[in-house]
Amino acid sequence: MKIKCFILLLTLTSCLSVEKELDKLSVIPKDVDSLFLSVDQAVENIINNCMNRPWKSYFLAYDENGVIISGGASQGIKVGDIFDAFIKGKKVKNPQTGISIELPGRKVGQIQVDYLGGENPQNEFSLVSFINGQINQDDLTRYYIKEIKK
């Protein structure tokens, strides 16, 4: 399975970070949906690294215990860092290629990192708080976090 993922990744990009992203797939998912999600995340990470795009992350939880995002110290995050929060853009299908494209999102607020947790890059997280704006905490999949490029 790991070899098939590696071949898929190589066909999608020639970036040198493919091997690093492949190592993140060391745990083989038990179902097809999880496999596609893992491969999608690895491909997104490779593309972001290759194109020198701003760092991007996602909300994991938002409840009475706080707001948690994926990512931590190994991604260069520090307590006090500020990131923009976006609602995802509309998905459209390119009729020429048949590929779905996500249009740019809209900024809905900013978050500040209050605490870093986790023992390794695979389980790192950050506790954050909103310094302005807000999101619908009942549908976290509609949002993402992006580094503010200076």
Q: How far apart are CA 116 and CA 68, in angstroms?
A: 10
5-54: per-residue pLDDT in tens?
444 444 444 444 445 555 555 555 566 666 666 677 777 777 666 566 78
The residue ranking higher by pLDDT, 11 or 89, is: 89
Residues 45-65 as b/e (b if ≥16 CB within 10 A, e otherwise) read: bbeebeeeeebbbebeebeee
Using an 8 Å Cβ cutoff, are 47 and 10 in contact? no
* Stated pTM of the model: 0.63
What pLDDT sits at residue 41?
Answer: 76
What pLDDT sits at residue 90?
Answer: 95
Q: Does position 74 have pLDDT exceeding 70, yes or no? A: yes
99-150: per-residue pLDDT in tens?
999 999 999 999 999 999 998 988 999 999 999 999 999 999 999 999 988 7
**Domains observed in the chain:** 2-51 (no CATH), 56-147 (2.40.10)
